[in-house]
């Protein structure tokens, strides 16, 4: 089976649901909650039990039930599906606010619980895929990602031989193993805060996309109440599959094209030749059957068209109200523009009468701090004060400053191109206004003037994570950084490792064809898009996951909480 997480999880769930269950006439639907001493738990089932365990919560619930029926349990099956599959190539463990939990000097028990939850979730992922990867993680003792890697190694070592063989089969002895690359969120803070121009990332940022479901509230006109619509951007939505990671103008133009195609197909179905009733009965029946066959496909297109027209309209409205195109352009040019140009642009955006929420202005300041480490501190402090005078809570900025000093690193130099555009951006990329040409009238008037001149800068944008991933896929270590490779059968303390001195490169093994990259502390749709793009470019099978997909607003709140600590 392919390196397809969604396909493998679906297969596991199908197998799971086919397991034989206890007779409810004896135990009832709440039998698992009864105590061993209850009357119900003293019954003896009339048929053998097969007990299904799919996560740690299930173990706790099923324990009392199994205590009273040990003699009748013929097998215990553990299905590792304790993660959320968003697509064949993205997953989440639904562990929110993990970044702030780890760095807020929380109790050891809380941090340990978070590390265990992440490791258990990753075990579910590799068990579902049926692969035993080489684990690659930072070797810094203080690294949360390293702690997750070591805990995952312990879980693998603790598996009984039979369970291990059933879980991984021949993958355990395969010479070609995928990489499981664990990264700490502080590897790249900038991407989490930048404004974006990708369709799916904009939906996540502005409309709070959650588990592929988005709710759009449309204000009423003429005193009418607002309307609320909820859309599931699911697998059968062809438009979502094709354009989730497209730049917004491209997706908007595709909505227009879809509308044109839908109207043409609808008109074709509704056409009736002048001599329709003069046709032989057989020909007329064939035409009717053909039209009936087309209707389900048209219904799917209509559903998708309604959803994405509504979503795109809401995005255009939010972009216009908050001036997000301006923030996006400034953030993209922060690393390379002259200091005077940067200062003038940022000051204009921070002025009280400028468009944008306080959150947008805070994100812009944070991006300036992270992407331009050489920016004069007195000048930066004056910008912070400018925002403070408007009543803004700048604790997030203070945390970034303390965090940088604590790490004794320049966060902005971890990846000098993390906020810029790769030099290979196609010169033929059209402006957003051109991309919107011919778009549906529902939001054309709002969008054309708004998006004038904003180019598709993210078409071939590089990302810190994909730069690291690309080097590791080619068998190289990250320059100036230590990693630990773990395999089953090795003690965690004796795992092989390579120390790479600054400026040097260590080679480890042949190029890798498959990899899972996992971010501890939250990930973004922008990073998922970059990994997808790298997979297409290199023709390799790549899966991106994180403890949770976190919106820029949510991440800014985490930084603010840490700033208050």
Q: Is the pLDDT of residue 75 over 80?
A: no
> Is residue 64 within 8 Å of 34, Cβ to Cβ?
yes
Where does a domain end: 38, 61, 78? Answer: 78
pLDDT tens digit string along 394-424?
Answer: 999 999 999 887 765 444 444 433 433 333 3
Residue closest to 35 by CA, chosen among 65, 72, 78, 3: 65
- The lowest-confidence range among 94-108, 115-129, 284-298 is 284-298
- The answer as to whether 533 is a domain residue is yes
Same domain, 385 and 442: no
- Which is more confident, 12 or 374? 374
**CB burial string 473-509: b at 16+ within 10 A, e below:** beebbbeeebbbbbeeeeeeeebeeeebeeeeeeeee
Mean pLDDT, the chain, rounded, equals 77
The token duo for 539 is 């023709």
- The answer as to whether 312 is a domain residue is yes
Same domain, 437 and 291: yes
- The SS3 call for residue 478 is coil
Where does a domain end: 78, 103, 128? Answer: 78
201-to-193, 204, 365, 551 alpha-carbon distances in Å: 12, 5, 20, 9
Best-predicted range by mean pLDDT among 29-43, 93-107, 327-341, 506-520?
Answer: 327-341
Is-above-0.75 flag for pTM? yes
pLDDT tens digit string along 224-258?
Answer: 889 999 999 988 899 999 999 999 988 988 988 88
- The answer as to whether 107 is a domain residue is yes
Same domain, 313 and 437: yes
Same domain, 266 and 314: yes
- The answer as to whether 223 is a domain residue is yes
Scanning 244-357, the segments in alpha helix (DSSP H) are 248-270, 281-322, 324-333, 339-350
Domain that holds residue 208: 199-322+431-450
> Is residue 194 within 8 Å of 367, Cβ to Cβ?
yes
Same domain, 229 and 298: yes
Number of independent structural domains in the chain = 4
- The SS3 call for residue 103 is helix
The token duo for 532 is 């997808």
Mean pLDDT of 271-289: 55
pLDDT tens digit string along 453-498?
Answer: 444 444 445 688 999 999 888 887 666 556 666 556 554 444 444 4
Q: Is the pLDDT of residue 431 over 90?
A: no
Look at the block and give the residue holding tokens 């299930």: 58
């Amino acid at each position: 089976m392919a390196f397809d997480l969604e396909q493998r999880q679906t297969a596991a769930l199908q197998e799971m649901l086919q397991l034989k269950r206890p007779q409810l006439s004896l135990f009832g639907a709440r039998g698992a909650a009864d105590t061993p001493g209850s009357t119900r738990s003293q019954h003896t089932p009339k048929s053998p039990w097969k007990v299904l365990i799919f996560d740690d919560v299930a173990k706790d619930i099923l324990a009392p039930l199994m205590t009273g029926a040990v003699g009748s349990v013929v097998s215990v099956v553990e299905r590792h599906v304790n993660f959320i599959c968003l697509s064949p190539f993205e997953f989440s463990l639904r562990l929110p606010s993990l970044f702030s939990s780890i760095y807020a000097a929380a109790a050891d028990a809380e941090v340990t619980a978070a590390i265990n939850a992440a490791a258990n979730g990753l075990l579910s992922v590799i068990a579902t895929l049926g692969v035993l990867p080489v684990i690659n993680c930072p070797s810094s003792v203080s690294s949360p990602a390293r702690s997750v890697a070591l805990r995952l190694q312990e879980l693998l070592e603790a598996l009984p031989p039979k369970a291990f063989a059933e879980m991984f089969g021949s993958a355990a002895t395969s010479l070609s193993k995928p990489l499981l690359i664990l990264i700490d969120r502080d590897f790249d803070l900038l991407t989490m805060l930048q404004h974006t121009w990708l369709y799916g990332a904009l939906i996540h940022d502005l409309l709070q996309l959650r588990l592929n479901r988005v709710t759009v509230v449309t204000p009423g006109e003429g005193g009418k109440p607002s309307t609320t619509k909820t859309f599931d951007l699911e697998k059968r939505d062809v438009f979502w599959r094709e354009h989730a990671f497209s730049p917004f103008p491209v997706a908007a133009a595709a909505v227009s094209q879809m509308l044109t195609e839908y109207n043409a197909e609808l008109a074709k179905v509704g056409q009736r030749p002048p001599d329709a009733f003069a046709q032989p009965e057989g020909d007329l029946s064939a035409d009717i059957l053909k039209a009936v066959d087309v209707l389900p496909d048209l219904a799917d297109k209509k559903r998708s068209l309604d959803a994405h027209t509504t979503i795109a309209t809401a995005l255009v409205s939010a972009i216009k109200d908050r001036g997000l195109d301006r923030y996006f352009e400034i953030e993209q040019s922060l690393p390379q523009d002259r200091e005077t140009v940067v200062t003038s642009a940022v000051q204009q955006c921070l002025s009280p009468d400028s468009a944008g929420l306080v959150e947008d202005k805070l994100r812009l300041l944070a991006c300036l701090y992270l992407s331009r480490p050489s920016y004069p501190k007195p000048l930066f402090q004056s910008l912070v004060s400018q925002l403070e005078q408007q009543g803004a809570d700048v604790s997030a900025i203070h945390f970034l400053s303390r965090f940088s000093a604590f790490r004794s690193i320049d966060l902005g130099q971890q990846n000098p191109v993390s906020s810029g555009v790769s030099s290979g951006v196609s010169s033929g990329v059209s402006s957003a206004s051109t991309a919107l040409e011919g778009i549906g009238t529902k939001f054309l008037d709002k969008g054309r003037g708004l998006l004038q001149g904003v180019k598709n800068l993210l078409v071939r944008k590089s990302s810190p994570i994909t730069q690291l991933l690309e080097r590791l896929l080619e068998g190289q270590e990250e320059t100036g950084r230590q990693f630990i490779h773990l395999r089953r059968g090795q003690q965690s303390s004796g795992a092989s490792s390579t120390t790479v001195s600054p400026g040097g490169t260590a080679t480890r093994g042949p190029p890798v064809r498959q990899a899972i990259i996992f971010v501890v502390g939250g990930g973004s749709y922008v990073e998922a898009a970059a990994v997808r793009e790298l997979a297409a470019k290199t023709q390799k099978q790549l899966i991106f996951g994180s403890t949770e997909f976190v919106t820029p607003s949510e991440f800014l709140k985490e930084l603010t909480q840490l700033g208050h600590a």
